[in-house]
Structure 1
Amino acid sequence: MTSSSARGIYGHIGDLSPDYLTIPQTLTIGLRNYEHIAAIPSAIIQSAADKSQVEKQFKTHFGEMDTEAKYLEFFLEQFRFVKENKLPELEVFIAELALKKATFCSTIHRLYEQFHPTYYSLPNDTSLSLAQTNRCLESFQIMMQCMKMMQDKGLEIRLGSDGANGGRINISELILLCKYGFSVADAFKIATINGAKAMKIEDQVGSLETGKQVNLLIWDKDPFADYTNFSLGKTIIKDGQILNKAMW
């Protein structure tokens, strides 16, 4: 968990270790800003029987969870397990998160890049069979449906990179959001004002308003016409100054 006296408290909650607090536990003590949509299933899969079942399910289809890629692919398999076995519990949990005005960062590129090319990279996991790749893709779609459900219920989603090359990752996140059911307008909101509000700096950045900092991206081609234009050329303005290409 990280914090700043001026910017509130944020939690990296819901990992696979039983030594860590769960999202429901931290909700009761007032935490509202969470990292990573991928942690949602761990709040639902709590019993020893459920944990054993999803682990067995993953091993049947993917083998041992012995690499970072497999570890990340397991998060996707958890979404499939929840949809197939715990959907009512998921719906109740999302309603509770919405009631308490929780926010989550996306961090979807980190999962997608394990099994599928992105606009700038090849898959990390080269050991996957076609059937395994397709299963990851199906599970990823289930995760995106969950995230859309969360937004439709009023939860605010924030952009999250969780890796090196954060600029490229964030562009990939925008493309993936639009590819899997979010509007371009929603993607822009996720990338701007939602994060600013969670950090309590929406009076400084996050939207185009008088008195706010002039930090802008201006795309050469309109993303509203085609979301793949997110990956094309752009002008970067930082603190009101146009950056030279050598600077970015």
Structure 2
Amino acid sequence: MKGLDISDRVRPLDMYPYDDYKVILKPLAHLHYAYRIENGGITIELSDYLKDAPDKVINDTCKAIIKWSSGRKYVAPDSLMDYISSDDFIVRSRPLYLDRSRSFRRDQQGAHKNLLDSIERLLESGLVLESDIQNSYITWAEHMAKYRFGQCNQMFRVISVNPDLDSDSVPDTVVDYVVYHEILHLRQGVMRGHRPHNAKFRGWEHSYPDYERIENYLRNFYVGRRRSRQKVGLLHQEARIGIEHYPAVVGVVQVGNDEGHLSRI
């Protein structure tokens, strides 16, 4: 996959101890970091979501990857975390992420359930605040693994829900709970590390009414049940939450630490 060479944006001292280096932006669905060492030189691959990032963000990220290449743990620099957490980055990058992903229906209206109804009920109950869902996007998934009921990309603030829950036989409170779980990941925001389901998160999760009963329902969801193959009809409404609006568009990894999901086995 061809990339854009931005080596001229990088300070040579930030690439020490490598004299020969190249920095490439690659067009991938998720934020991506990688490096390759050949003949004493290093090639760093970054996501092209960073093409408009300030040079400081690019240089700080390259320095972190250089440390990673020497055997140290990769730690995302503060400048990068601040940049990818900004509303400007999210608003500009999310449409591209949605276009590149093949797993979204880009519709909150299902055959039987509307995800915005779940949002409204959660807001009315006080379990979710307006601030939790600002600058966010929700949609039914095109498909999702068995026993994975929801997914949240915290970086681009996109929630998707398993289409098998789009059924009159599924109680609204179950769909609401799955949406609630994913909104909690939005509340967390982009995190360093790989533990989105920490103690604080579990405390929020357990505050949902009838938590244990719904968890048991999801654990047994596919027992004796055939997976539905039905497709949502031709209705393509906009999936919108909060302040941003993206019309339905025809379109359409190395996953970083920006994913949270609800799976039950």
Bigger proportion of residues as helix: 1
Q: With structure 1 as the length reference, what TM-score do the two structures score?
A: 0.30
If the length of structure 2 is used for normalisation, what is the TM-score? 0.29
Greater Cα radius of gyration, structure 1 or 2: 2
More strand by share: 2
**Higher relative contact order, structure no. (Cα contacts within 8 Å, ≥ 6 residues apart):** 2
